Amino acid sequence: MAFLNMFNKEKERPTAATADDRLSLVLSYQRSDIDERKLKKFQSRLVELCDEFGYDVVGQVEIRPQSRDWDNMTVLNASIPVRLRGK
């Protein structure tokens, strides 16, 4: 059984597909100095908001802060996979 479970194990998803993207992400987090707990709270508020507007969140909500070099601004990119309720 343990042998079968070995194949069944859920793998940790990488945060980005390439080393370069991962580095961008890592540096963005570091530079924006965003509190992880705050980000989690923000994530659950987004789920609530989707619910309020009639959308079901059907996958992992991802929020990625990115630093924008030209104006030294942090941009929060949210990816929320949703389905319209009742469809």
Partner 1 sequence: MKHDSVAITVTSGKGGVGKSTTVASVGLALAKLGRKVCVMDTDIGLRKLDLMLGLENRIVYDLVDVVEGTSKLRQSLVRHKEFEHLALLPAAQTRYKEEITPEQVKQIVDELRHEFEFILIDSPAGIEGGFRNAIAPADRAVLVVNPEIPSVRDSDRVIGLLESANLDKIDLVVNRVQPGMVRDGDMLSVERVQNHLAINLLGIVPEDRRIVRSSNTGEPVVLDDKSMAGCAFNNIARRLNGERVPFLELEEPSLIHRIKRIFHIA
Examine residue 75 and tell whether it contacts partner 1 (CB under 8 A): no
First-last CA distance in the chain: 39
Q: In angstroms, what is the minimal distance from the CB of 17 to partner 1?
A: 11
Which lies closer to partner 1 via its Cβ, residue 34 or residue 82?
Answer: 34
Examine residue 5 and tell whether it contacts partner 1 (CB under 8 A): no
Which DSSP letter does residue 1 get? -
Which lies closer to partner 1 via its Cβ, residue 27 or residue 76?
Answer: 27
Which lies closer to partner 1 via its Cβ, residue 5 or residue 18?
Answer: 18
Strand ranges, E, within the chain: 55-57, 62-68, 73-79, 82-84
What are the structure tokens assigned to 48, written together? 């609530």
- Go through the chain and tell me how many residues it has: 87
Q: In angstroms, what is the minimal distance from the CB of 31 to partner 1?
A: 7
